[in-house]
């Protein structure tokens, strides 16, 4: 199973383009500097809310990333565009990743 981080946050509509432009650098920082980072999906909701769904190799990988916060330039830039973190949840997948065979 894979650990999943689900973060719901608010960013004003006028920052949406900047948020999307900052996303690739944040993901590069995660890929090069966060053990256990697997993938992420950003989902735009209504009313300036977003869901960031991040896949981690383990709960420990997720916890270590949270401890480190925005300690890399790309991550810090992305985080700076967020007005409010509404919630952060942790879960686990119940199905194999896309493209992998069922056990």
Please state the domain extents for the chain. 3-92
Q: What percent of the chain has pLDDT over 90?
A: 89
Instruction: Name the H helices within the chain.
Output: 16-33, 59-68, 73-80
Stretch among 7-11, 34-38, 52-56, 91-95 having the lowest mean pLDDT: 91-95
pLDDT tens digit sequence for 67-84: 999 999 999 999 999 999
d(CA 7, CA 19): 15
d(CA 14, CA 81): 10
Q: Cβ-count burial of 45 within 10 angstroms (0-12 exposed, 13-18 middle, 19+ buried)?
A: exposed
The DSSP call for residue 15 is: G
Return the higher-pLDDT residue of 89 and 100.
89
Q: Average per-residue pLDDT in the chain?
A: 93
pTM of the model: 0.88
Give the architecture-level CATH label for domain 3-92: 2-Layer Sandwich (3.30)
Q: What is the pLDDT of residue 102?
A: 44
Q: What is the pLDDT of residue 97?
A: 61
């Amino acid at each position: 199973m894979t650990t999943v981080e689900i973060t719901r946050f608010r960013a004003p509509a006028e920052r949406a383009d900047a948020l999307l432009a900052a996303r690739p650098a944040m993901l590069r920082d995660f890929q090069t500097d966060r053990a256990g980072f697997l993938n992420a999906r950003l989902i735009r909701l209504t009313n300036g809310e977003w869901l960031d769904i991040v896949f981690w190799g383990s709960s420990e990988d997720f916890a270590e990333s949270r401890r480190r916060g925005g300690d890399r330039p790309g991550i810090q830039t992305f985080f700076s565009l967020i007005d409010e973190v509404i919630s952060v949840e942790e879960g686990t997948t119940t199905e194999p990743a896309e493209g992998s065979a069922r056990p």
